Amino acid sequence: MDVTGLSLTTITLFLPVVGLFILLLMNGETQKSSLKWVAFATSVVTFLASLLMWVNFDPASAELQMVQRNTWAEVSLGDSVINISYFVGVDGISMLLVLLTTFIMPIAILGSFGSNIFEERGREKLYYIFLMLLEWAMLGVFVVHDLIIFYVFWEVTLVPMYFLIGIWGAEERIYAAVKFFLYTMAGSILMLIAILYVGNRAGTFSTYSAGGDIGVIERVHNWQGEGTYWDALAPDADGEDESFLFDSVESLLFLGFLIAFAIKVPIFPFHSWLPDAHVQAPTAGSVILAGVLLKMGTYGIVRFNLNLFPEATVAWAPTIAFLGVVGIIYGAWVSYAQDNVKKLVAYSSVSHLGFVVLGIFALNAQGLQGATLQMVNHGISTGGLFLIVGMLYERWHTKEMADYGGIWKIMPLFGAISLVISLSSMGLPGLNGFIGEFTILLGSLGSDYLGFAFTLFGTLGVILAAIYLLKMFQHVFMGELKKPLANEDDYKLRWYEKAAYIPIIIMCFWIGLQPIVFFNMLDVSVDSIAALFVS
């Protein structure tokens, strides 16, 4: 049975498509100046629609909300017929990430207002069309609960990002774009096989139950037979048998999904595409990549790996959490060694997302809550850092830290903004980063599956973050001005630059000082996942 009423989720999801079609119908030459306004207006309207979703969202309910489900196609696989359905809806985790996406998007578009990439490369219309396509696909990833449609949105995000990096990127853009495309596609295509197996086994591609149809997650959790849902005859389902890790169907499916997500996050050692993509991408591309795209990976782990394969999750948790901790320290270490400021920020992502991975695989409510909130925090702070780097580059045309210095003196407001965002990224109490990292560490400390060492080394990452971010701040903003600009006017912040930072600063303080608002949103959804892992 279907729930076919037009839901608010659908409206929010398809608003960027409306913007895309308006842009398509416009003339790229004669209406050049209004292209960015159409894109900006669309993203703001989408943001307002997502706020409306938030107003309608009931944090006390464990069910998916604002659900719409239409049967879309019937695939006959052998004797059974499997439905593919357009199935959207949000729970707390999805809601928060939808808000993050719609929040980052207008900021990223504002970040391209002053960009000089169009003077050199042109094709402004195509640029905004790709941004709209990207927003649609990213929102789709976060709200869709049918595995096939999820895969469709997941793969579609590749195409606009590939072009954003490839056409409007820096010097090595082609290498970076192709590497990004092939690397992420290689991971996700194995997920397709896993998805097909899941659909074949469960007889449905819907993960959640709706309108009387039982979703995969419910089938897995309510399994009454021997062993697990995936391995009816598994020797020992709680992971103590070593052969479970590599022999069981559940474990292989878990890996099929995990590799796709791990590449996207990226979890060490799958991170090598990230510095290239980040450094070469245009500012808006970096902001979206760090702000939203990487979260698709961690979201996927929470939504699919944990829910669909709980036994395999338990078995793999220490290994993946270990990789997370390695990522925290490795990312911070490499970040410290960079002379290129954009690369420094890029590697800091590896480190920050290591925290998220650690929080997820703590497999308790605190860890998961902290991880989800940290996804948002990282999106806001690192997105902000990339905006800062982009602004610096537009003025000074260099990414080498050695060329900068003394910027705080001549651009006091910009310096102050940068300080707040850097501090938020390194986790200063009172700002957003602290809340996320603290909760994650708390979660890892109380975890039944991870030892004390995980927390210890994780905490080390917080200190390292302070070191590399302060190094960056010191080199770029303090000391003597090395390269004065020819035009004194360039020292002033433009209105669109201020407009981009205001919401970021507000969010840094809001989440930092009143995290309860966001934790409330997550409580019920996270508890239902954590309940699977209470030993």
Partner 1 sequence: MFEAPTIAEFLADSNLASTLPATLLLAWTLLLVLVDLFAGEEREHWTPIFAGIGLVLSFLATLFVYAPAEGEQIALYGMFIADAFTGFLNMVILVATLIAILMSWDYLKRAGVHRGEYYILTLLSSAGAMFMVAANDLIAVFVALELLSIPLYILAAFRSIKNDGSDLALKSEESGMKYFILGAFSSAFLVFGAALVYGATGSTNIPQIVQTAQLVVGGATTASFYLLVGTALLIVGLGFKVAVVPFHMWTPDVYEGAPTPVTALMSVTAKIGGFAALLRVLVTALSVLVLTEGDAPAWQATATLIAILTLILGNFVAIAQRSLKRLLAYSSIAHAGYIMVAVAAAGSAGVIDAATQSALVYILAYMFTNLGAFAVVMTIEREDGSGGNIDDITGLARSRPLLAMAMTIFMLSLTGIPLTAGFVGKFMVFASAVQAGLFGLAIIGVLTSVVSAFYYMRVVVNMYLRDSSADAQPALETPYVRWAINIALAGTLVFGIFYPLATNLVSMVSIA
| Stretch binding partner 1 (CB under 8 A), from 178-186, 401-409, 445-453, 464-472 | 178-186
Among 40, 127, 130, 181, binds partner 1 (CB under 8 A): 181
| Stretch binding partner 1 (CB under 8 A), from 46-54, 186-194, 395-403, 503-511 | 186-194
Secondary structure class of 71 (helix, strand, coil):
strand
Question: Does residue number 69 form part of the binding site for partner 1 (CB under 8 A)?
Answer: no
Question: Does residue number 127 form part of the binding site for partner 1 (CB under 8 A)?
Answer: no
> C-alpha 53: how far from its chain's center?
20
The C-alpha angle 51, 388, 158, rounded to 5 degrees, equals 60
Neighbouring residues of 442: CB distance < 8 A, sequence distance ≥ 6: 366, 367, 370
Residue in the block written with tokens 């990789």:
323
Neighbouring residues of 514: CB distance < 8 A, sequence distance ≥ 6: none
> Is the CB of 61 or the CB of 80 nearer to partner 1?
80
| Per-residue burial over 74-106, b = 16 or more CB atoms within 10 Å of its CB, e = otherwise | eeeeeeeebbbbbbbbbbbbbbbbbbbbbbbbb
The C-alpha angle 390, 395, 400, rounded to 5 degrees, equals 65
Question: Does residue number 197 form part of the binding site for partner 1 (CB under 8 A)?
Answer: yes
Question: Does residue number 158 form part of the binding site for partner 1 (CB under 8 A)?
Answer: yes
Question: Does residue number 402 form part of the binding site for partner 1 (CB under 8 A)?
Answer: no
**Residues in a beta bridge with 65:** 90
Question: Does residue number 18 form part of the binding site for partner 1 (CB under 8 A)?
Answer: no
Contact characters 136-155, partner 1, x per CB under 8 A:
------------x--xxx-x
Among 22, 190, 245, 460, binds partner 1 (CB under 8 A): 190
> Is the CB of 170 or the CB of 326 nearer to partner 1?
170
Q: How many C-beta atoms lie closer than 10 Å to residue 331's C-beta?
A: 28
> Is the CB of 72 or the CB of 509 nearer to partner 1?
72
Among 189, 506, 516, 517, binds partner 1 (CB under 8 A): 189
The C-alpha angle 459, 464, 465, rounded to 5 degrees, equals 95
> Is the CB of 179 or the CB of 295 nearer to partner 1?
179
CB 149 to partner 1: min, Å: 9
Among 45, 192, 467, 470, binds partner 1 (CB under 8 A): 192
Among 73, 485, 513, 531, binds partner 1 (CB under 8 A): 73
C-alpha neighbours within 13 Å on the C-beta side of residue 419: 11
| Stretch binding partner 1 (CB under 8 A), from 179-187, 308-316, 335-343, 409-417 | 179-187
Question: Does residue number 196 form part of the binding site for partner 1 (CB under 8 A)?
Answer: yes
Long-range contacts of 27-36 (CB under 8 A, 24+ apart): 28/123, 28/124, 28/125, 28/126, 32/124, 32/125, 35/124, 35/125, 35/128, 36/109, 36/112, 36/113, 36/124, 36/128
Q: How many residues does the chain have?
A: 535
Question: Does residue number 285 form part of the binding site for partner 1 (CB under 8 A)?
Answer: no
CB 197 to partner 1: min, Å: 6
CB 400 to partner 1: min, Å: 25
Secondary structure class of 428 (helix, strand, coil):
coil
Question: Does residue number 193 form part of the binding site for partner 1 (CB under 8 A)?
Answer: yes
Number of residues that bind partner 1 (CB under 8 A): 38
Among 44, 52, 159, 170, binds partner 1 (CB under 8 A): 159
Question: Does residue number 167 form part of the binding site for partner 1 (CB under 8 A)?
Answer: yes
> Is the CB of 51 or the CB of 152 nearer to partner 1?
152
Question: Does residue number 78 form part of the binding site for partner 1 (CB under 8 A)?
Answer: yes
Question: Does residue number 118 form part of the binding site for partner 1 (CB under 8 A)?
Answer: no
| Stretch binding partner 1 (CB under 8 A), from 189-197, 302-310, 371-379, 441-449 | 189-197
Cα end-to-end span (Å), the chain:
35
The C-alpha angle 208, 210, 216, rounded to 5 degrees, equals 30
| Per-residue burial over 154-184, b = 16 or more CB atoms within 10 Å of its CB, e = otherwise | bbbbbebbbbbbbbbbeeebeebbebbbebb
Q: How many C-beta atoms lie closer than 10 Å to residue 518's C-beta?
A: 23
Question: Does residue number 170 form part of the binding site for partner 1 (CB under 8 A)?
Answer: no
> Is the CB of 144 or the CB of 362 nearer to partner 1?
144
- Write the Ramachandran bin of 397: left for phi over 0, alpha for psi from -120 to 50, otherwise beta: left
Question: Does residue number 232 form part of the binding site for partner 1 (CB under 8 A)?
Answer: no
| Stretch binding partner 1 (CB under 8 A), from 44-52, 88-96, 183-191, 401-409 | 183-191
Interface with partner 1 (CB under 8 A): 72-79, 84, 123, 148, 151-153, 155-156, 158-159, 162-163, 166-167, 173-174, 177-178, 181-182, 185-186, 189-190, 192-193, 196-197, 199-200
